[in-house]
């Protein structure tokens, strides 16, 4: 029997077991072709079917109309920090950003290398323990776009609703919560997400862009960096990360089989509630890092009374097959990443361990 652990890794992260089993089944002989999907041309009919079905399934899951192009790119989420500005931030314009943590900081830093950027709000003063309320900032109607990070993977905060941006295109780094709940696509100008947290393996970034924005992409921009060029070639301008896209396709089919994003949202809320209740009912032994109204349903961050106890917690959790609970190196503490593919049973195993650990320490 294969040994599988309770996987709380932040990214790359857990994938649904049925998805891994399908990938294993198909590895040597994809659909009777006698080849792996890793070994065939990206121009072959078989691959094109995978590519287009993955786009169609993402469209269905996200209820995303044809007003938007769905692109697959390489370079990870962080490449989009620059590519976004290269495509949509004209030399005479400026872009507005909300700074809700390390990933926002990096997105701002990269965009500043391309053009003019304003930080409308920053949570740095309170260690990024919350996301802003609508009255905390004012979007400038002339901004090229408003950028925010929907889920802050490191701090453990999340926007419950997208920010209001009026007529300014809303741009979202959704790397760590895409496909975790239904979204109203019509609110967004552009969404990008590295796949490796909630949508598949590392290697592909999903970019969803409202087609009217494609007109802004400068024609002088290199073709493989240019959203408009990629959209016109259905992301088959050059060789796309074929295996990662195939895996995203398997994840999308799995999510559709499970009841889509409504069902995911219900399960994710159930998992997060269980974990936050365990924290809140521990008489202060466990302390959540995020303010309650900003708590992430994907990355649950908390502290113990001392760093020594945190180190012991991590060491003993590994003994109990609970993997990946050490907080990000920049902030310390404990972080449980409970993306779509982490089952309720894993969260139950964690809360049982937490209750037991606390009793042993007190
Ligand atoms: C992980 C992460 C990134 C970085 O993605 P890479 O693919 O490693 O470049 C960017 N933004 C958020 C919100 C993330 O969680």
Q: Exposure pattern of 38-63 as b/e (b: 16+ CB <10 Å)?
A: eebebeeeebeebbeebbebbbebbe
Catalytic site residue from 57, 197, 271, 326: 197
Element counts in the chain: helices (H) and strands (E): 9, 14
d(CA 177, CA 156): 11
Q: Is 121 a catalytic residue?
A: no
What is the pLDDT, as a whole number, of residue 362?
81
Residue 337 has pLDDT above 90, yes or no: yes
270-327 pLDDT, tens digit each? 999 999 999 999 999 999 999 999 999 999 999 999 999 999 999 999 999 999 999 9
Helix/strand/coil for 176:
coil
pTM attached to this predicted model: 0.98
What is the DSSP code string of 46-57?
HHHHHHHHHHHH
Determine the atom of ligand 1 nearest the C-alpha atom of 174. 13
20 pLDDT band, cuts 50/70/90, is very high
Residue 1 has pLDDT above 80, yes or no: no
Is 177 close to ligand 1, i.e. is its CB under 6 Å away? Answer: no
Is 235 close to ligand 1, i.e. is its CB under 6 Å away? Answer: no
353: nearest Cα among 325, 331, 333, 328: 325
Average pLDDT for residues 244-252, to the nearest whole number?
98
Hey, whose CA ends up nearest to atom 12 of ligand 1? 175
Is 337 close to ligand 1, i.e. is its CB under 6 Å away? Answer: no
Q: How far is the CA of 76 from the centre of ligand 1 (A)?
A: 7
Is 173 close to ligand 1, i.e. is its CB under 6 Å away? Answer: yes
Half-sphere exposure of 167 (CA within 13 A, CB side): 2
**Architecture per CATH, 260-361:** Alpha-Beta Complex (3.90)
What is the pLDDT, as a whole number, of residue 288?
98
Is 11 close to ligand 1, i.e. is its CB under 6 Å away? Answer: yes
Domain 17-257 falls under CATH 3.90.870.10: no
Fill in the DSSP letter of residue 127: T
E strand or H helix at 300: strand 299-303
Structure tokens at 138: 């004012």
Average pLDDT for residues 123-149, to the nearest whole number?
96
Residue 167 has pLDDT above 80, yes or no: yes
Place of tokens 């802050």: 152
What is the pLDDT, as a whole number, of residue 2?
87
Is 77 close to ligand 1, i.e. is its CB under 6 Å away? Answer: yes
Catalytic site residue from 57, 99, 103, 177: 103
Determine the atom of ligand 1 nearest the C-alpha atom of 76. 7
Q: How far is the CA of 194 from the centre of ligand 1 (A)?
A: 6
Q: Is 233 a catalytic residue?
A: no
107 pLDDT band, cuts 50/70/90, is very high
Catalytic site residue from 96, 99, 129, 173: 173
Peptide bond into 301 cis (omega under 30): no
Residue 28 has pLDDT above 80, yes or no: yes
Q: Is 136 a catalytic residue?
A: no
Domain coordinates in residue numbering, the chain = 17-257, 260-361
d(CA 324, CA 335): 8
Helix/strand/coil for 328:
coil
> What's the CA dihedral at 247, 249, 253, 255 to 10 degrees?
70
Is 278 close to ligand 1, i.e. is its CB under 6 Å away? Answer: no
E strand or H helix at 72: strand 68-73
Determine the atom of ligand 1 nearest the C-alpha atom of 196. 7
Q: How far is the CA of 312 from the centre of ligand 1 (A)?
A: 28
The share of the chain scoring above pLDDT 90, in percent, equals 99
For Cα atoms 181, 187, 192, give the angle at the middle one, nearest 5 degrees.
Answer: 65
Residue 73 has pLDDT above 80, yes or no: yes
Average pLDDT for residues 105-130, to the nearest whole number?
98
Residue 98 has pLDDT above 90, yes or no: yes
170: nearest Cα among 189, 184, 186: 189
261: nearest Cα among 273, 250, 269: 269
220-241 pLDDT, tens digit each? 999 999 999 999 999 999 999 9
Average pLDDT for residues 213-221, to the nearest whole number?
97
What is the pLDDT, as a whole number, of residue 322?
98
- CB-based contact 275:288 (threshold 8 Å): no
Is 78 close to ligand 1, i.e. is its CB under 6 Å away? Answer: yes
Average pLDDT for residues 117-141, to the nearest whole number?
96
E strand or H helix at 88: helix 76-88
**Identical fold at 17-257 and 260-361?**
no
d(CA 195, CA 204): 6
């Amino acid at each position: 029997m294969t040994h599988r652990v309770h996987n709380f890794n932040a990214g790359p992260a857990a994938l649904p077991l049925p998805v891994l089993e399908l990938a294993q089944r198909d590895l040597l002989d994809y659909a009777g072709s006698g080849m792996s999907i890793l070994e065939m041309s990206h121009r072959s009919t078989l691959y094109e079917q995978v590519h287009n079905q993955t786009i169609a399934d993402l469209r269905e899951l996200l209820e995303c109309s044809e007003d938007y192009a769905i692109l697959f790119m390489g370079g990870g989420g962080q490449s989009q920090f620059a590519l976004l500005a290269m495509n949509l931030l004209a030399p005479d314009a400026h872009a507005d950003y909300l700074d809700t943590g390390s990933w926002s900081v990096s997105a701002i830093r990269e965009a500043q290398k391309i053009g003019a950027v304003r930080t409308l709000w920053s949570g740095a003063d309170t260690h990024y323990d919350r996301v802003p309320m609508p009255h905390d900032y004012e979007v400038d109607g002339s901004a090229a776009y408003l950028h925010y990070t929907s889920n802050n993977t490191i701090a453990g905060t999340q926007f419950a609703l997208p920010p209001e941006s009026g007529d300014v295109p809303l741009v979202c780094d959704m790397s760590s919560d895409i496909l975790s709940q239904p979204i109203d696509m019509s609110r967004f100008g552009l969404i990008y997400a590295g796949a490796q947290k909630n949508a598949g393996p590392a290697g592909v970034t999903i970019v969803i862009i409202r087609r009217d924005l494609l007109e802004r992409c400068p024609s002088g921009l290199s073709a493989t960096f240019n959203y408009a060029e990629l959209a016109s070639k259905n992301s088959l301008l050059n060789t796309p990360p074929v295996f990662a896209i195939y895996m995203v396709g398997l994840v999308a089919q799995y999510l559709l089989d499970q009841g889509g994003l409504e069902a995911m949202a219900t399960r994710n809320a159930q998992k997060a509630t269980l974990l936050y209740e365990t924290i809140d009912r521990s008489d202060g032994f466990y302390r959540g890092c995020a303010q309650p109204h900003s708590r992430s349903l994907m990355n649950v961050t908390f502290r113990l009374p001392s760093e020594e106890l945190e180190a012991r917690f991590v060491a003993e959790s590994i003994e109990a097959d609970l993997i990946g609970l050490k907080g990000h190196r920049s902030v310390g503490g404990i972080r449980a990443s409970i993306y779509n593919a982490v089952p309720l049973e894993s969260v139950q195993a964690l809360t049982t361990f937490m209750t037991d650990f606390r009793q042993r320490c007190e």
